[in-house]
């Protein structure tokens, strides 16, 4: 029995030593030199090196619009569509996202829309967003439009 345990211990010791050698390096060279293509660069580093990374810090603005006018009438699809086409899209020609919602504000449940805008930080875009909010409130008799801004890392 002692001989079997001794052989197993030596085998285990050999595996541990080989593992350590592989982790800390091989005498006469590094692991990367011994095994080309292993542990050279991460995929992210390789993309950055190739100049293909397009990650950038941007702003993500979410605008929450209620679709119910005073006296309970909903804003019609055509009215919303015209608002987007004529007032929003020209200010953000790079693109936007619309989401349908069901929300509640001050105890009133109503359908709604969330408009998502991802853009570079600029005073011009900030001004455009404020114009969109002000126009919507006036045009559709709304008390408010919720506006949430996040700083995000975006990649296209």
Confidence band of 38 (pLDDT split at 50, 70, 90):
very low
pLDDT at position 126 is 97
Q: Phi/psi of residue 44, each to 5°?
A: -65, -45
Percent of the chain at pLDDT > 70 equals 66
User: In angstroms, rounded to a whole number, what is the distance separating the alpha carbons of residues 116 and 120?
Assistant: 13
CA distance 135 to 67: 14
In the chain, the domains with their CATH numbers are 2-40 (no CATH), 56-154 (3.30.70.120)
For 57-76, how does the pLDDT look when each residue is reduced to its tens digit (9 = 90+)? 999 999 999 999 888 889 99
Q: What is the pTM of this model?
A: 0.65
Mean pLDDT of the chain: 80
Residue whose C-alpha is closest to residue 84's, from 108, 114, 111:
114
């Amino acid at each position: 029995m002692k001989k079997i345990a001794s052989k197993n211990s030596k085998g285990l010791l050999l595996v541990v030593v080989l593992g350590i050698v592989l982790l800390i390096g091989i005498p006469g060279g590094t692991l990367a030199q011994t095994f080309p293509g292993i542990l050279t660069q991460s995929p992210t580093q390789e993309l950055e090196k190739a100049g293909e990374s397009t990650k950038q810090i941007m702003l993500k603005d979410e605008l929450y619009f209620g679709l119910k006018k005073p006296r309970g009438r909903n804003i019609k699809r055509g009215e919303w569509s015209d608002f987007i086409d004529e007032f929003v899209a020209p200010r953000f020609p790079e693109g936007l996202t619309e989401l349908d919602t069901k929300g509640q504000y001050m105890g009133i449940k109503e359908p709604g829309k969330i408009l998502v805008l991802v853009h570079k930080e600029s005073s011009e875009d900030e001004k455009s967003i404020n114009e969109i909010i002000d126009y919507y409130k006036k045009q559709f008799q709304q008390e408010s439009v919720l506006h949430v801004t996040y700083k995000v890392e975006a990649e296209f």
